[in-house]
Amino acid sequence: MSTEPAVRPGLVRITDVAALAGVSIGTASKALNNTGQLRDETRLRVRDAAEKLGFVMDARGRALSSGRSFTVGMVTTDSFGRFSIPVMLGAEDVLSAGQMAVLMCDTRDDAVREQHYLRSLSARRVDGIIVTGRSSDARPPIDIDIPVVYAFTPSTDPDDVSVSVDDAAGATVLARHLLDTGRRRVAFVSGPARHAAATRRAEAAAEALGDALAAAPLYGEWSERWGRQAVDLLLRTTPDLDAIACGSDQVARGVCDRLRELGRSVPGDVAVTGYDDWDVMALASRPPLTTVDLRLDEVGRHAGRVLLDLIAGSPVSSSVIEPTLVIRESTIGG
Amino acid sequence: MSTEPAVRPGLVRITDVAALAGVSIGTASKALNNTGQLRDETRLRVRDAAEKLGFVMDARGRALSSGRSFTVGMVTTDSFGRFSIPVMLGAEDVLSAGQMAVLMCDTRDDAVREQHYLRSLSARRVDGIIVTGRSSDARPPIDIDIPVVYAFTPSTDPDDVSVSVDDAAGATVLARHLLDTGRRRVAFVSGPARHAAATRRAEAAAEALGDALAAAPLYGEWSERWGRQAVDLLLRTTPDLDAIACGSDQVARGVCDRLRELGRSVPGDVAVTGYDDWDVMALASRPPLTTVDLRLDEVGRHAGRVLLDLIAGSPVSSSVIEPTLVIRESTIGG
């Protein structure tokens, strides 16, 4: 199973073509598949390299026959946390159906551990790598000569292939739901301002709410306690509000608890929305939370499919998965 | 790296010895290392097989030189859930330091998926397998000719090597802590009676509490809502109780919430304990929960070490990890 690749023409991989042409694997894929924005000179250089090496397009059938380890690496910075687990399960499902075994690489946000794993994956000649993490903010690309797909945590290099979530779209759909259900005095309680996800969500909601935004967004932490504190702050400054949209389900659960303690009914007096659809928070909240599902399993499944395509030399490009609105009693119950 | 094992004498593995002797790998290890309870006939049969094959003891150095895939499979039924994640992270840490790559196999409690993964791991000639799951109840052994260690979820076969947690010891240490802090009217609120963990914890606590057990243990579900309901039941039947020990942190969080709503102070009027030390529940609870830490990361690390020993042919045996008491404000604050 571990025949040396690239020594026989029939076993040439897109990796080898990219290396000879001096381009990234994503660029080689675009050049060979006639997709994407590339200079003609680049496209020709890649095709010359493919011809020299005897690389054949639509490689999946050929690739399946030999020259591969049928193994991919799953690199996470998140210690299999709340965000990376559904991504990894989705990817693992697709890859395992494709007869690929998945190697777990938990880097724990440690650059030294990441390098260790990348060397190990390279030595084991994995066919590809999925990179994921705890944040939807972009990260620097990894430097390795193997097909890579970034899932949930995109690469900062636009030439790389990333599958990301649309954080702003989630906040927009929640804001519209509040407007559609008649709310006109809405506050937004988010996480730490230094987190791009916290500001992206708050700003997208503010834009969609327009005049219905009753106060400037509040930034704090991703915790229930902050949600409880924020209610006290808001009721002093904006006592007539009729909805509180939150940057996470944890914050929203704290908001519901504090409103109930103060005798304000949810959603009768004040509607509340969360973000993430984390069952432990969204379902245990009193009342259960209207929120957005980031569809992280679909992010993972799509990343798995894209990686299989990239390994096979098929055309691939980055994509964005749209979150979906989940309506529960915190906005429309009674 | 994938030289056929067992064709040259220097590459004989304990697996091959066990197969020739017709015994499990655990039994072969015990026979060759002079440990455990075995009949003399069995021990001799294993040693004969080892001699015939040219198997050399203290195999780690030799094994590291060749004949191995340096890959282990991690098989979980738990979809990387709350219990299996810390176990897997601990194991992965030890195995990766031992230069072993870890293949993720998420069976999702599906026997067909489990068989698929076992065939795949066998075909890839992994050096060993760690089996884990969501429950501390024993499970049937997997049928495979490769060293296996069961972590958290032990095997029903006493010949297998399992690393488990001592559920009863955790409940006992919590009960003693309540007695030590002066509580004498204690109730126990557990999960579903059909879960062995729910009954084991309740029965161990009842035994340790003795006369201080103020009511028969209540069984319900593993949820905050059940914790809230249980408070209403208990205060009708046993209004003078001064502590409520719970079978999980989720139940305990619900108990604390309901007591607060009814104007009973925790721990002033009633002390409350959880179980599991699940941060999302134990730290977010008002007040934060005294609970037991199952030390699942140590269960995983120990399972990783034991698997490396088993692969190397060193003596190994099953073991039990003791949980530790974590004291927070729900029993001693004020």
- When the pLDDT of each residue in chain A is averaged and rounded to a whole number, the result is 88
pLDDT band at B17 (very low <50, low <70, confident <90, very high): confident
Model confidence over B183-210: pLDDT tens digits? Answer: 999 999 999 999 999 999 999 999 999 9
Q: Is the pLDDT of residue A44 over 50?
A: yes
The percent of residues in chain A predicted with pLDDT above 90, rounded, is: 60
Give the model confidence (pLDDT) of B310-322 as tens digits: 999 898 999 999 9
Cα distance between residue B226 and residue B195, in whole Å:
15
How open is the CA angle B72-B74-B75, to the nearest 5 degrees? 135
Which of B96, B105, B296 to mutate against chain A (most A CBs within 10 Å)? B96
Q: pLDDT tens for residues A128-143?
A: 999 999 888 899 999 8
CA angle, A311 then A313 then A319, to 5° = 80
| Mean per-residue pLDDT, B149-155 | 96
Angle at A125 between CA A158 and CA B16, to 5 degrees: 150
Residue B9 has pLDDT above 70, yes or no: no
Q: pLDDT tens digits, residue range B281-312? A: 999 999 999 999 999 999 999 999 999 999 99
- The distance of A291 to chain B (nearest Cα, Å) reads 19
Q: Would you call B317 helix, strand, or coil by DSSP?
A: coil
Sign (positive or negative) of CA dihedral A276, A278, A279, A283 = negative
Q: Which of residues A170 and A10 earns the better pLDDT score?
A: A170
pLDDT at B46: 87
Query: What pLDDT is recorded for position A67?
Result: 59
Number of H helices, E strands in chain A: 13, 12
- Beta strands B128-132; B291-293: pairing state: unpaired
Pick among A4, A68, A77, A80 to test the B interface (most B CBs inside 10 A): A80
**C-alpha radius of gyration, chain A, whole number:** 23
Quote the tokens at residue A39. 């200079």
Tell me which fold the domain A70-165+295-322 belongs to.
Answer: Rossmann fold (3.40.50)
**8 A C-beta contact, residue A126 and residue A73:** yes
Comparing A145-154, A205-214, B29-38, the range with the smallest average pLDDT is: B29-38
The domain made up of B167-294 is a member of CATH 3.50.50.60:
no
Residue A175 has pLDDT above 60, yes or no: yes
Q: Number of A to B CB contacts under 8 A, please give it.
A: 64
Is residue B228 over pLDDT 90? yes
pLDDT confidence of B39, banded at 50, 70, 90?
confident
Calpha distance A161→A158 (Å, rounded): 8
Q: Do residue A80 and residue B88 have CB atoms under 8 angstroms apart?
A: yes
What is the three-class DSSP state of B88?
helix
Identify all chain B residues contacting A92, using CB atoms and an 8 Å cutoff: 104, 106
Report pLDDT for B11. Answer: 60
Chain B interface, best mutation among A93, A104, A225, by max B CB count within 10 A: A104
pLDDT in tens, B42-52: 888 888 888 78
DSSP 8-class letter at A211:
G
Say if the Cβ atoms of A74 and B106 lie within 8 Å: no
Q: What is the pLDDT of residues B65-94, one digit of tens each?
A: 346 788 999 998 877 678 888 898 899 889
Confidence label for A11 from pLDDT (cuts 50, 70 and 90): low
Whether A70-165+295-322 shares its CATH topology with A167-294 is answered: yes
Structure tokens at A100: 């690929």
How many C-beta atoms lie closer than 10 Å to residue B181's C-beta? 15
Spell out which residues of chain A touch residue B105, defining contact as CB-CB under 8 Å: 96
- The better pLDDT of the pair B264, A51 is held by B264
Chain B positions in Cβ-Cβ contact with residue A102 (cut-off 8 Å): 103-104
- Which range, of A33-47, A151-165, A174-188, B71-85, averages the lowest pLDDT? A33-47
The values of phi and psi at residue B129, to 5°, are -140, 140
Give me the residue from B79, B102, B116 closest to A104, CB to CB: B102
pLDDT of B68 reads 75
Q: Mind telling me how many Å the CA of A142 is from chain B's nearest CA?
A: 19
- In chain B, the DSSP E strands lie at 71-76, 101-106, 128-132, 148-151, 161-165, 186-190, 218-219, 243-246, 271-273, 291-293, 319-321, 324-326
Contacts of B163 (CB under 8 A, 6+ apart): B149, B150, B151, B152, B154, B299, B302, B303, B306, B318, B319, B320, B321
Q: What is the C-alpha to C-alpha distance for residues A35 and A58, in angstroms, rounded to an integer? A: 14
Q: How far apart (Å, rounded) are the C-alpha atoms in residues B230 and A239?
A: 36
The pLDDT confidence band at residue B56, using thresholds 50, 70 and 90, is low
Distance CA B64, CA A328 (A): 56
Among A161-165, A272-276, B105-109, whose mean pLDDT is lowest?
A: B105-109
Mean pLDDT for A293-314 is 94
Domain boundaries, chain B: 9-164+297-319, 167-294
Instruction: Answer whether residue A5 shows pLDDT above 80.
Output: no
Chain A residues with CB-CB distance to B2 below 8 A: 1-2
According to CATH, what is the number of the domain B9-164+297-319?
Answer: 3.40.50.2300
Quote the mean pLDDT of chain B. Answer: 88
Confidence band, pLDDT 50/70/90 cuts, at residue A275: very high
* B141 secondary structure, DSSP code: P
State yes or no: pLDDT of A311 exceeds 50.
yes
Q: Between A1, A2, A280, which is nearest B280 by CB? A: A280
Helix axes A25-33, A14-21, angle to 10 degrees: 100
Specify the pLDDT at position A109. 83
The residues, any chain, with a CB within 8 Å of residue A118's CB and separated by 6 or more, are A75, A142, A143, A144
Two tokens at A199?
Answer: 């500001």
Asked whether the beta carbons of residue A104 and residue B104 sit closer than 8 angstroms, the reply is yes
- DSSP character string of A221-259: -SSHHHHHHHHHHHHHH-TT--EEEESSHHHHHHHHHHH
**Cβ within 8 Å of residue A51, ≥6 positions away:** none
Domain at A1-68, CATH class:
mainly alpha
> Running DSSP on this structure, what letter comes out for residue B210?
G
pLDDT tier for residue A34 given thresholds of 50, 70 and 90:
low
Closest approach of chain A CAs to the CA of B225, in angstroms? 8
The first and second tokens of residue B87, run together, are 């176990």
Question: Distances from the Cα of B42 to the Cαs of A239, B36, B157, B312, B324, in angstroms?
Answer: 80, 12, 17, 21, 39
| Chain A CB contacts of B103 below 8 Å | 71, 101-104
- The pLDDT of A55-66, averaged and rounded, is 45
Strands A291-293 and B319-321: unpaired
> Average pLDDT, stretch B230-243?
97
CB pair distance less than 8 Å for A96 and B116 = yes
CB-based burial label for B58 (10 Å; 0-12, 13-18, 19+): exposed
If DSSP states are collapsed to H, E and C, what string results for A249-288? Answer: HHHHHHHHHHHHHCCCCCCCCCEEECCECCHHHHCCCCCC
* Section A158-172 average pLDDT: 95
| Share of chain A residues as helix, strand and coil, in percent rounded to the nearest 5 | 45, 15, 40
Q: Using the beta-carbon criterion (under 8 Å), do B104 and A116 form an inter-chain contact? A: no
Q: Which residues contact B282 (CB under 8 A, 6 or more apart)?
A: B249, B252, B253, B274, B276, B288, B289, B291, B326, B328
Give pLDDT, residue A328: 98
CA-to-CA separations, B163 to A162, A303, B3, B69, B135, in angstroms, rounded: 40, 35, 32, 24, 13
This complex has an ipTM of 0.74
Per-residue pLDDT at A334: 57
Those residues of chain B whose CB sits closer than 8 Å to some CB in chain A are 1-2, 71, 74, 79-80, 85, 88-89, 92-93, 96, 99, 101-106, 116-117, 120, 124, 223-225, 250, 280, 284
Residue B116 — very low, low, confident or very high, per pLDDT cuts 50/70/90? confident
| CA-closest candidate to residue B68, choices B128, B139, B142 | B128
**Pairing of β B243-246 and β B101-106:** unpaired
